[in-house]
Structure 1
């Protein structure tokens, strides 16, 4: 399978093929992640490795493929309540059970947004999480005015917004992985929850 990123004007198949993340997808997923959100290479490598290899983390990655091109990907994980609270950071204290599912990164190629790929990636990750012991699923939606974000997807799948936090990444993790912010990310975000 090619690891190349699609070009402008490409057309998606009516129903994207969603498959588990494999090693042959990692370069394309990392490139897509960097193009859409910027990312620290070390962090991306760690997440993409854990999402396809049996490690101490219960993690699964999925990719959306159009023909032979990766046009989206998402990662889901299962962790303790402490892990879930570390994920959302110090700005919020979640009352969640052990274990809790987490919808991590969701990235769709800009040329393919609005074609149902994000929906299919959320659906597939929730189906995978339903096979685990996770009773609750959480996720965050990064609010960026120039981009689609996952707030509508969370609502579509029955999640409830727990909180909206101004300058979320600055307050929680100090991320600099934001192409819209020149230094530390000052974007707002919302935290979402769904009980299985």
Structure 2
């Protein structure tokens, strides 16, 4: 029996199998992190069972559960916008909006606090998550603040690290505040305008 070129080249629609498997693995990892067991409840065996794949499929991409958790958490993050540099206010609002989006998703918050709250038991994992996932995002905000100082929009004596913590810390606290309800859609603009009142050059 012969096959036409079209028959031979046909592929089922949708994502390639390997990509679908990777997504299932990441989703399973996040589901386990968000559940009561947290980091302790994540194992290669548990992820494989939840994702419906073999353990060898996981080990082809990730050497251990720590590497898998780090990639899964990174996949949760909203992509940070590329600051346009038009003004420090516009840059900070764009970055703050991405932070608000991260903190407004309950599953994302539950997954992150599951890991960050396990520092005593998993110090190396928490250190890697902080260094590889969280710090690069904080550095984007620091860079925007430094540009604001260089352009004269912000005070030359501004403590960049403190300013970054004021913005990100306020967003994090507001998102987790009990009984406060969803984060308002204009919260990024309001927090940036409030802090710029103190940060701006006079």
Q: Same fold (TM over 0.5)?
A: no
Q: Whose helix proportion is higher, 1 or 2?
A: 2
Q: Whose strand proportion is higher, 1 or 2?
A: 1
Structure with bigger gyration radius: 2
